[in-house]
Structure 1
Amino acid sequence: MRQLSRLLGAAALALPLALFAAPAAYAGPELITNGTFSSSTSPWWSTGNLPLSVDGGRLKAAVPGGTANRWDAMFGEKSPALTLHQNHSYTLSFDASATATRTVRTTVQLNADPYPATIDQLFTVDATSRHFSWTFTGTLETTNGEITFQLGGLAGGAYNFWIDNVSLVDATTGSGSPLDLTSGFYVDPDSNPAVWVRNNGGDSRAAQINAAIATKPMARWFGAWSGDIGTAVGSFVGAADAADKLPVLVAYNIPGRDACGGHSGGGAGSPDAYQTWIAAFASAIGSRPAVVIIEPDSLADFGCMDSGAIKTRNDMILYATQQFHDKAPNTWAYLDAGNPGWVAAGTMADRLTAAGLTNVRGFSINVSNYFATSDDVAYGAAVNTELGADAKPFVVDTSRNGKGTNGEWCNPAERQLGSPAQVGGGAEMLLWVKVPGDSDGDCGIGAGIPAGQFSPDLAMHLITGS
């Protein structure tokens, strides 16, 4: 992304430091999906004669003897859509060693014949692990890039090669005028409000809904209705990437979803099915920047669940955080922390910790609810006080909190749109996570409208505050 690193960097700088420990400076997008090999070599590929394995937290390549060319024994990573830009500054680095002294080759190149490289570098390895690093200027403009390590074509027979901490960072944060942070988020052209406006242009409400809601950045929710999750997420993130905007996504498919409320029940058919689903979700984002809210209400909705069900849910959420940590290195993922009126701050801090908060960027507050931003910020600060040294950034859903809450959560009357998506505002970001106009369920002023279905009448109530 040409400008999104500036958006994310500005987010880190705009935050009240009293709320949490300041995050490390944003150094630019990491393009390697799995460079640490803590549990697997996926998604790295290799030629058929070059077995790859994890050996002591490093990738091990068993290099055969007798190959004629360096590329005859080769491995690499393409990631999901590794994007390279001309004139961007990149840093490639890794740690490597081998059982014998060998001069081998690494490239960052186009993954298509004749495979032109933007860096083509020889380096020498031996039994001592050494750190290698090069900074270079990109000469390719492509979404089909790859990194390779070419180990063949050498005299001396077979040997083993180890590598770890592989990193390819785009250090260019954009050029020209500073990014307008209020318009840096992706506007979904296929959101429920946008589709309704497109299909109902003659309706007297269409112009107002278009101006007030459909043209604003908001999250897209993904669940069983999304079809193949890898395709759905990849298409959405890819469209945002092409527009150079930051997409906001919601993962909402945990089994037993909305167990106590009941209006939004459903989810994957089993824990195993959920693990497959969420792993594909994270993989589809890959190295592209994104914001993801993980399973709204899932850590707050424990009241009607027994201890076994709670443990099963925690295990699934923990797995989800690990997937985003390992497979989507430039995603800012947030565990949902409910809202100020639901779970005490100390209890929520314990639940966040148990569910893998250390694996993700932070937590989200007020998703699909109506609490005023000031109340949400105070709650976030209280949770962080309980977290202590493990305090994290948080984001707030402001889609429907313009008038705060009246104590009702299911399509209450006389609520209003809140602040549009922006960086800062008392939290790390204010986001429209719930889609304004989408029903909370068959209740309140949305009686007869199923959860998640867009209603122009509900949208107009939020626009007018009536």
Structure 2
Amino acid sequence: MRWIVRGLVTALLAVGVVIPGSAPTASAATELITNGAFTTNTTGWWGNNVPISLDAGQLKAAVPGATTNPWDALVGQKVPAFPIRQGHKYILAFDARASAARTVQTTVQLNAAPFTGTLNKSFAVTTTKQRFAFGFTGGFETTQAELTFQLGGLAGGAYTFWLDNVSLIDLAGTPAGNPVSQTNGFYVDPKSNPKAWVDANPGTTATTINNALASKPMARWFGGWVPNLSDGIQQYIAPATAAGKLPVLVAYNIPGRDACGGHSSGGAGNVAAYKEWIQTFAAAIGTRPAIVVVEPDSIGDVGCIKTDLERTYRYEMLNFALQAFKDFAPNTWTYADATNKGWGYDIKLPDLADRLNQAGVAKAHGLAANVSNYYLTSETVAFVNDLNTHLATPKPFIIDTSRNGNGPGNEPVDPWCNPRGRKLGSVAQQGGGAEMLLWVKVPGDSDGVCNASTEPAGKFDPNLALMLINS
């Protein structure tokens, strides 16, 4: 639910906006794997009961059938051994595919008996190459660790497994970096919902939507609808990094999501599933620069959560999420949910600040305000500056300007949900009264079946897009 109070007078642009100083450029993390790209050979890699060879710059493993245990057929890197330090943060990432769908395992473990593991993860490969990423914490001290891909013990007979671009990094000592200074402008998503509609529907309307909307930087949202989160993030971030542009992502998968509004309800199945999901999110970004808006509505929704235990879990998950990005994505700036002017003042600012503190806002780089809402930029600047006076340490903030060009609507029912007569706001930029103005909500994506749209939440509606362009 995104609360709007009608009849509020536009606030004057407030002074005292918090703008952080530049953070140091992050140094490279320590790579522990040798020859993970297989450019010319498979040197340093071995197979147990699995012949390996070089195939077009990939490691190719011929996996036999009729094995009993996962480790009866494996490939890995054992020599040279590498160290694992207790408490250090690591990211294992790689590309993999197979000749038939299989669920296999990867481990980081001691390279001799008792083969104790500090990472043991299953992952599902298909005939299409996918990226996988796992963040983990070192569970013991050793100089004799190995990486394995355990491919045996499966039904379905023999198959071929391909592996490429393997990386295992130790993040210890990697300083937090400034993603803005590491990039040159914001990334334009060539596969956004508006762009996909434009490409599929050529014509005058598509040209209008492309020129005014689809060709502009905007965030991409990630939730449980992305089947392989690591690969989805890779597909979005890799071209942004290659172009030197800053991608904006939204993590939107917390259990009990949209507890007040209901149109976007859902989320991970439980606390443990969410923690695994959000840690994978951070690990998939890794050391690349990014902006992440963490769980829009998650702070505002606290008032609609029914039990104290569920509220405790909500705060626990948000704390975990913000810490995960600090641990596994050192060049990412995170922004915690600060609701919007109407909702925030309805909650009362001291109570909103208390919710943010319980959610671990000190771990976030800043606050995200007006996400998916319509309040004018000047109103929102004044609101967040007011909120900052209630926090122990004022936070920089971003404002979602995707649909705030005309301010809030005046619909009699659910005025936050696809109100008529709204307009695009300022395009992505630094400054503007905040740290950044961003299109966080994808303009033209519906809020749900309500008011100006008959499309479900998250689906692109060209009629909404034209309204935002032409109002």
TM range (shorter): 0.5 to 0.7
| TM-score relative to the length of structure 2 | 0.67
Is the alpha carbon distance of 1:33 and 1:346 closer, same or farther for their aligned partners in structure 2, counting shifts above 3 Å? farther
1:397 to 400, 406, 409: 400
Query: 1:70 matched to which residue of 2?
Result: none
Q: Distance in 1 between matches of 2:342 and 2:268?
A: 28
TM-score for both structures, normalised by structure 1:
0.68
Q: Is the 8 A contact 2:291 2:334 kept in 1?
A: yes
Please state if 1:450 is matched with 2:456: yes
Q: Which runs of 5+ in 1 are unaligned?
A: 1-15, 64-72, 77-142, 149-163
C-alpha distance 167-266 of structure 1, shift in aligned 2 (>3 A): closer
Residue matched to 2:126: none
The answer to whether structure 1 residue 382 and structure 2 residue 369 are counterparts is no
Work out whether 1:462 is the aligned partner of 2:459.
no
Partner of 1:367: 371
SS at match of 2:466: helix
Local SS of the residue matching 2:210: helix
Indicate yes or no: 2:205 matched with 1:199: no
Letter in 1 for 2:296: P
1:27 counterpart = 2:24: yes
Partner Cα separation in structure 2 for residue 206 and residue 252 of structure 1? 28
Provide Cα deviations, 1:201-250, integer angstroms capped at 9, x if missing partner.
Answer: 03x31111000010000000001111111111122111211111100000
Superposed displacement of residue 352, structure 1: 1.1
Secondary structure, aligned partner of 1:332: strand
Where structure 2 has 5 or more consecutive residues not aligned to the other structure, the ranges are 1-13, 32-83, 93-107, 119-136, 148-164
SS of residue paired to 1:318:
helix
Question: 1:336 deviation in Å?
Answer: 1.1
Q: SS of 1:245's equivalent? A: coil
Query: What does 1:261-272 align with in structure 2 at a 5 Å threshold?
Result: 261-272=261-272
- In 1, Cα distance between equivalents of 2:228 and 2:116: 31
Secondary structure, counterpart of 1:395 in structure 2: strand
Q: Shift of residue 165 of structure 1? A: 5.2
Shift of 1:412: 0.6
Task: Provide the C-alpha distance between the structure 2 equivalents of 1:197 and 1:435, rounded to a whole number of angstroms.
Answer: 14
Give the number of aligned pairs.
347
Partner of 2:289: 289
What does residue 8 of structure 1 align with? none
Q: CA deviation at 1:421?
A: 0.3
Q: 1:146 to 1:174 in 2, by over 3 A?
A: farther
User: Residues 146 and 193 from structure 1, CA distance in 2 versus in 1: closer, same or farther, beyond 3 angstroms?
Assistant: same
Q: Contact 1:51/1:61 (CA < 8 Å) preserved in 2?
A: no
Aligned 8 A contact 1:294 1:335 in 2: yes
Question: Are 2:317 and 1:320 aligned?
Answer: no
- How many Å separate the matches in 2 of 1:379 and 1:30? 37
CA RMSD of aligned residues (A): 3.3
8 A contact 1:28–1:173 mirrored in 2: no
Query: 2 CA distance for matches of 1:397 and 1:347?
Result: 22
Pairs within 5 Å for 1:74-85: none
- Alignment partners' CA distance in 2, 1:282 and 1:60: 23
Displacement of 1:309 in angstroms is 1.9
User: Quick check: 1:30–1:330 contact (8 Å CA) kept in 2?
Assistant: no
Q: 1:299 to 1:170 in 2, by over 3 A?
A: closer
Quote the Cα distance in structure 2 between the aligned partners of 1:172 and 1:327: 14
C-alpha contact 2:250 2:292 (8 A) present in aligned 1: yes
Contact kept? 1:279, 1:323, Cα under 8 Å: yes
- Residue 360 of structure 1 and its aligned partner are, at CA, apart by 1.6
Distance 2:391 2:177 in 1: 33
Give the Cα separation in 2 of the matches to 1:440 and 1:168. Answer: 38
Deviation at 1:299, TM superposition (A): 0.5
Q: Percent identity?
A: 47
Task: Give, in whole Å, the separation in 1 of the partners of 2:364 and 2:192.
Answer: 26
Partner of 2:56: none
